[in-house]
Amino acid sequence: MIETADIVLGCSFGDEGKGKVVYDLLKKNNYDLCVRFNGSGNAGHTVYENEQKFVVHQLPVGILIKNVYNLISSDCLIDVTRLKSEISGLIEKGINIDGRLFISKACHIVTQDCIDYDKANNKVGTTGSGIGPTYSQKMLRTGKRVEDIENELTCLGIQVVDMRKFWFSEFVINNVKNVLLEGAQGFELDINWTNHYPYCTSSTCTIAGAINTGIPLKSIVNVYGVTKAYDTYVGTMKFQPEQYNDELNMIGDLGHEYGSTTGRRRQCNYLNLDNLVESLKLNSCTKCIINKVDILEKASIYKLYHKNEIHSFVNLTDMQDYIFSVLSDVVTQIIYSFNPHSI
């Protein structure tokens, strides 16, 4: 029976390092089930195990860990061709999904027509994965769902589930105590909450997406809001301010800021604390994880935006003191990560 649930979600424009956080939490705690609650092949969650690199797109990060069950819930989209190659890629690396993967029967299927449409009508710089067109079909109620191709998925060893029954099933009652819910993209890309419509994705990247899985609300303990020590964005909107190009390009180079799904260069900017506070509050985050602090140290650049102004600091401690003064009322813990492979 479910006892606790934690949520990991992006507080920025995606690419905050959620994959690493989820992997680290799964390894250090006793989670039985990892749930992906939004997005699809547009996401790319990168994790490292003994210098070996794994990138998952549609699959929850928990698939990389033996004994962890995984669920892709109804708000996610499924690109079957790419799912198959993701699974076979993992099998080649010695990771078997053997009865550990559940997919909601209500997930919509990404078709080739949707991918073609996305690529041919791409003004906002999407990942070209067919995301917008597939969510459009879902709303038009003309789309194809997992339940329509159930056999094709069960042949792969995937269990198709009815989410109305899942949380109260014998399986969950007997096997699942602790759950970790994993978001894709981030608050600034959310279809409702973005400040930059239409330069956003088409899913719910917030805590609302996590709750829409049907997870019992009473079980939620921690909500980890993940961000980086500087902001990045990939898409056609102008994001990187020209007057700071030299510094921000250096940060982008040192941080290897290229998309894990499309390989595109990410634009960079200094951390925006005003936006971060909104994101942490609106997602009811209990903890804030700030990744890639090591990159600021390498660059020796310590700047952030607060109250719409740039603040510069002489060293990291001063910057952290400032962040603490702003966030200490918002979250119970601020975790700084200097390590690309763990928190």
DSSP string, 51-79: TEEEEESSS-GGGGSTT-EEEE-TTBEE-
Stretch that binds ligand IMP, among 82-90, 198-206, 271-279, 313-321 (CB under 6 A): 198-206
For position 209 contacting ligand IMP by CB under 6 A, the verdict is no
For position 115 contacting ligand IMP by CB under 6 A, the verdict is no
At closest approach, how far in Å is the CB of 46 from Mg ion? 7
For position 125 contacting ligand IMP by CB under 6 A, the verdict is yes
Q: How deeply is 140 buried, as exposed, middle or buried, from its count of CB atoms within 10 A (0-12, 13-18, 19+)? A: exposed
At closest approach, how far in Å is the CB of 198 from Mg ion? 20
Which residue, among 55, 45, 52, has the nearest Cα to 17 in the 3D structure? 45
Among 15, 24, 190, 231, the active-site one is: 15
How many residues line the site for ligand IMP (CB under 6 A)? Answer: 21
Question: Which helix (H) or strand (E) segment is 222 a member of?
Answer: strand 220-228
Nearer to ligand IMP, 160 or 184 (CB): 184
Nearer to ligand IMP, 74 or 261 (CB): 261
Task: Specify whether 256 is catalytic.
Answer: no
DSSP state of 223: E
Which residue, among 232, 268, 263, has the nearest Cα to 250 in the 3D structure? 268
**Can you tell me the distance from the alpha carbon of 310 to that of 336, in angstroms, rounded to the nearest whole number?**
21
For position 129 contacting ligand IMP by CB under 6 A, the verdict is yes
For position 201 contacting ligand IMP by CB under 6 A, the verdict is yes
**Can you tell me the distance from the alpha carbon of 77 to that of 154, in angstroms, rounded to the nearest whole number?**
17
For position 38 contacting ligand IMP by CB under 6 A, the verdict is no
Q: Number of C-alpha atoms within 13 angstroms, CB side, residue 224?
A: 26
Q: How deeply is 253 buried, as exposed, middle or buried, from its count of CB atoms within 10 A (0-12, 13-18, 19+)? A: middle
Nearer to ligand IMP, 46 or 73 (CB): 46
For residue 134, the partner it binds in ligand IMP, Mg ion, none, with Cβ less than 5 to 8 A by kind, is: none
Of the residues 46, 185, 279, 291, which one makes contact with ligand IMP according to CB under 6 A: 185
**Can you tell me the distance from the alpha carbon of 302 to that of 20, in angstroms, rounded to the nearest whole number?**
24
Question: 277 in helix, strand or coil?
Answer: helix
At closest approach, how far in Å is the CB of 159 from ligand IMP? 26
For position 279 contacting ligand IMP by CB under 6 A, the verdict is no
Of the residues 43, 114, 271, 288, which one makes contact with ligand IMP according to CB under 6 A: 43
Task: Specify whether 15 is catalytic.
Answer: yes
Neighbours of 98 (CB within 10 A): 9
Interacting residues with ligand IMP (CB under 6 A): 13-15, 42-44, 124-127, 129, 131-132, 184-185, 189, 199, 201-202, 234-235
For the annotated catalytic residues, the residue numbers are 15, 45
